[in-house]
Amino acid sequence: MNKKAFNPFEMAQAQFDKVADVINLDAATRDLLRNPIREYSFAIPVRMDDGTMKVFRGFRVQHNDARGPAKGGIRFHPHETLDTVRALATWMTWKCSVVDIPLGGGKGGVICDPHNLSQHEQQAICRGWIRQMAKNVGPVNDVPAPDVMTNPQHMLWMLDEFEVIHGGRYPGFITGKPVGMGGSLGRTEATGFGLIFTVREALREMGLKLADCTASVQGFGNVSQYAVRLFRQLGGKVTCVSCWDQEDQVSYTFRKTSGLDPDELMGITDPFGGIDKAKARKLGYEVLPGDAWIEQEVEVLLPAAIENQITGENVNKIHGKVKLIGEGANGPTTPEADKVIAERGIFVIPDFLANAGGVTCSYFEQVQGNMNYYWERDEVLGKLDVKMTAAFSAVSDLARKQKLYMRDAAYVIAVNRVAKACKDRGWV
């Protein structure tokens, strides 16, 4: 019998359904919130560098905008699906709600592999995506951002195309732009730093000193790089990171038990977060199988890559020493794994709280863009720390008072806020 393929949207709906039961949500509101309000699927024809025409498939899903404009990244991925985009848009709604910023949930994507595309071809995809969506996105209705395999340059091309079409300057339309072209200082660090701000608070609550803790991290993209950096700055030690190897089409774990140096690893890392194995070995790193990160004897696990990574099949490989899981990625833990983690008493900071630093700083960038006035880096990161700490405290307090799993407590807060906005607007 074939094993059923993982569907992230079904997982997002299952998580929602569980909490809808907890808070006794009425049928109409359930119906509205478990599905996106709007979905777009479209073709992007591109003339390739060799003169041929190729058609790429693009998506945008606006899950809910009752609390404000939809907000969410655009990812380039060869295996992108509409269901993945639906799930990510749904999680964005809860993410904006749990940190209490006036935005809703959106997500976009294109089925493509930037590894195999020239800069000119990538620019054509970006501009084509905007041409298809120009009437349905904008600073007051839907604000995109970078995501997996997209970056500030992609955002600037998209902003430029949007401004050409609409004949004006709209720096608040898209976030994650280059600093100096409407981007915010602190945005690059925001998701990784936000994750560690919540880890710091959780360890403090558990009576553990971060300086006495070691961590193992999955992924070595933007989130992981800055999470590792701040974890070390606060006195902790990181012994492992894992990453995808484009050449071998598998992932590897890089371990140095004495503690790894992110700057050293960055020197041998490609633009997509892939670490050079041969150079890593020369620097004293062990190169282990890709799933070895989950088995390490550490206090803190930080899955910071992609969805569906801690599952019913590998959850029992988590070492008995692990006290805390901080989900830097979106949807890294399946409901089956959640049950085991809860039974083992491991503290979980759920994804849409743990990695909300990115969208929080994107919100700051949007505000700065709309004001045409920009803050200094320390001010941005200080505001981020306040927001993330307050959101963590609210979720943790509710979890303790109502004896809820942290993920469920975060959902209760987030869903209640969105449901109230929908009711107040008279949508249900």
Active site residue 107: yes
**What is the 3-class SS of the chain, one letter each residue?**
CCCCCCCHHHHHHHHHHHHHHHCCCCHHHHHHHCCCCEEEEEEEEEECCCCCEEEEEEEEEEEECCCCCEEEEEEEECCCCHHHHHHHHHHHHHHHHHCCCCCEEEEEEEECCHHHCCHHHHHHHHHHHHHHHCCCCECCCEEEEECCCCCHHHHHHHHHHHHHHHCCCCCCCCCCCCECCCECCCHHHHHHHHHHHHHHHHHHHCCCCHHHCEEEEECCCHHHHHHHHHHHHCCCEEEEEEEEECCCCEEEEEECCCCCCHHHHHCCECCCCCECHHHHHHCCCEEEEHHHHHHCCCCEEEECCCCCCECCCCHHHCCCCCCEEECCCCCCECHHHHHHHHHHCCEEECHHHHCCHHHHHHHHHHHHHHHCCCCCHHHHHHHHHHHHHHHHHHHHHHHHHHCCCHHHHHHHHHHHHHHHHHHHCCCC
Report the phi/psi class of residue 64: left, alpha or beta, with left for phi > 0 and alpha for psi in -120 to 50.
Answer: beta
- Which residue, among 139, 130, 150, has the nearest Cα to 102 in the 3D structure? 139
The two structure tokens encoding residue 108: 């976009």
398 forms beta bridges with none
**Candidate list 107, 177, 237, 387, residue with the active-site label:** 107
**What is the 3-class SS of 4-18, one letter each residue?**
CCCCHHHHHHHHHHH
Rg from Cα positions in the chain: 21
Q: How far apart are CA 46 and CA 248, in angstroms?
A: 28
Catalytic residues: 107
